[in-house]
Amino acid sequence: MAAREIDHRAPEPPFRQIAADLTGESERGELSPGRPVPSEKELVERYGVARNTVRSALAVLRENGLVYTVPNRGTYVCDRNESAGDGQSKE
C-alpha cells in the first residue's frame, strides 16, 4: 500500500510514471469501473509525491479517456467497452 517506486531522476517525469503505472493497473483489470483511482490524497501517499503531481497524472488518464472525474466526488475508471470519447455520465 505504500510508496510505489518513483524515480525522480528518470527521464520520464514522475507524473508520467504515475500515469503509466495507473494505466497498467487499469489494463490489468486491477481497477474496476466504479472506484478506480483512489483519492488524490491516497495517491499522494502511495507515490510519495505532491498533490499537483497526482493531478497531472490523472489529467493524462483523463485525456486518454481511461477515467472520468466527478467534481467533489472522485475519479472513476471508464467502462471502456467502447471508444473513449465521452465523459460517461455517472448518476
Partner DNA sequence: TAAGATTTGTGCGTATGTATT
Partner DNA sequence: TAATACATACGCACAAATCTT
Least distance to DNA, CB of residue 10, Å: 9
Q: Helix, strand or coil for residue 80?
A: coil
Least distance to DNA, CB of residue 27, Å: 20
Instruction: Kindly state whether residue 42 participates in binding DNA, applying the rule CB under 7 A.
Output: yes
Instruction: Kindly state whether residue 72 participates in binding DNA, applying the rule CB under 7 A.
Output: yes
Least distance to DNA, CB of residue 65, Å: 15
Q: Which residues, 6 or more positions from 77, have their beta carbon under 8 angstroms from its beta carbon?
A: 26, 31, 32, 33, 34, 35, 36, 37, 66, 67
Among 21, 74, 80, 88, binds DNA (CB under 7 A): 74
CA pair distance 14, 2, nearest whole angstrom: 16
The binding site for DNA (CB under 7 A) comprises: 8, 13-16, 37, 39-42, 48-53, 55-56, 69, 71-75
